[in-house]
């Protein structure tokens, strides 16, 4: 998978897995990583599916309608890539926090839905429910931040609350930050994610 890896200055901080939105690249969320945890190592991945030339992490059949077979395949592909990247770059595979926006938040959410040990935590900016026919693994104590829009036309408040309920039902500790800027990822939302990260993972990422 096309990606960027940058070694961080704080060895104890979780590695950030950056997952862009539709049409983005592995460069898009690097500034967000600097806001959330400037000392963390960063693994930023480009989606390997193209939709009208725009990179995505999995196919969809229509707006808001996921290709579930492809979603499952791509989720496993990303999970396996994390294993190989940890071996290649020497970061702690058990200490990876995903930071995803839109389509990237959806694949990060799918990692949580499929694998109990995929992530130490997740920051999901404007995610949807990846799928509704799975029994989620035990996510006891896994911290999850959801950035959501009260007027988001793509990820509606109902969708956000359903995702929160599903994750909490599996034991995850979910915190939702609401704004009123539609589907946009704003500076204030990024700052809220950084504050959440510092509370959940300490100041190690700020070295």
DSSP 49-93: EEETTEEESS-EEETTEE-HHHHHHHHHHHHHHHHHHHHHH---T
Which pTM was predicted? 0.95
Q: Report the DSSP beta bridge partners of residue 60.
A: 66
CB proximity list for 207: less than 8 A, separation 6 or greater: 9, 10, 13, 39
Residue 102 appears among annotated catalytic residues? yes
Cα 188 to Cα 21, 55, 139, 182, 193: the distances in Å are 18, 26, 28, 13, 9
> Out of 40, 44, 102, 110, which one is annotated catalytic?
102
> Out of 48, 67, 92, 183, which one is annotated catalytic?
183
Which structure tokens are listed for 27? 């460069």
Which structure tokens are listed for 179? 């704004």
CB proximity list for 155: less than 8 A, separation 6 or greater: 102, 126, 127, 128, 148, 149, 183
Match 């408040």 to its residue by tokens: 157
Q: Give pLDDT, residue 100.
A: 98
Contact 145, 124 (CB under 8 A): yes
Q: Give pLDDT, residue 207.
A: 37
DSSP tag of 180: S
Q: Give pLDDT, residue 115.
A: 97
The domains found in the chain, sorted by start residue, are: 3-206 (3.40.50.1820)
> Could you tell me the sign of the dihedral formed by the alpha carbons of 91, 93, 99, 100, in that order?
positive
Q: Give pLDDT, residue 203.
A: 58
**Closest by Cα among 115, 121, 133, 102 to 14:** 121
What distance in Å separates the CA atoms of residue 160 and residue 162, rounded to the nearest whole number? 5
Q: Give pLDDT, residue 64.
A: 77
What distance in Å separates the CA atoms of residue 162 and residue 165, rounded to the nearest whole number? 5
CB proximity list for 132: less than 8 A, separation 6 or greater: none
**What one-character-per-residue DSSP string does 16-57 give?**
EEEE--TT--TTTTHHHHHHH-TTS-EEEE--SEEETTEEES
- Full pLDDT tens readout for the chain, 207 residues: 999 999 999 989 999 999 999 999 999 999 999 999 999 999 999 999 999 899 999 998 887 789 999 999 999 999 999 999 999 999 999 999 999 999 999 999 999 999 999 999 999 999 999 999 999 999 999 999 999 999 999 999 999 999 999 999 999 999 999 999 999 999 999 999 999 999 999 754 543
């Amino acid at each position: 998978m096309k990606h960027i890896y940058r070694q961080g200055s704080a060895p104890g901080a979780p590695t950030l897995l950056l997952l862009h939105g539709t049409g983005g690249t592995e460069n898009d969320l690097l500034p967000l990583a600097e806001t959330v945890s400037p000392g963390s190592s960063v693994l930023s991945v480009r989606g390997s599916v193209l939709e009208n030339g725009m990179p995505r992490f999995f196919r969809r059949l229509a707006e808001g309608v996921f290709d579930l077979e492809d979603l499952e395949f791509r989720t496993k592909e990303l999970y396996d890539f994390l294993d190989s990247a940890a071996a290649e770059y020497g970061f702690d595979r058990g200490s990876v926090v995903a930071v995803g926006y839109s389509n990237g938040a959806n694949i990060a959410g799918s990692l949580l839905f499929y694998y109990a040990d995929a992530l130490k935590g997740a920051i999901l900016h404007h995610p949807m429910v990846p799928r509704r026919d799975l029994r989620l693994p035990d996510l006891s104590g896994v911290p999850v931040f959801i950035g959501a829009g009260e007027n988001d036309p793509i990820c509606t408040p109902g969708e956000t609350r359903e995702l929160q309920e599903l994750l909490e039902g599996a034991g995850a500790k979910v915190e939702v930050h609401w704004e009123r800027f539609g589907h946009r990822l704003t500076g204030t939302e990024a700052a809220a994610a950084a504050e959440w990260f510092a509370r959940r993972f300490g100041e190690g990422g700020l070295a």
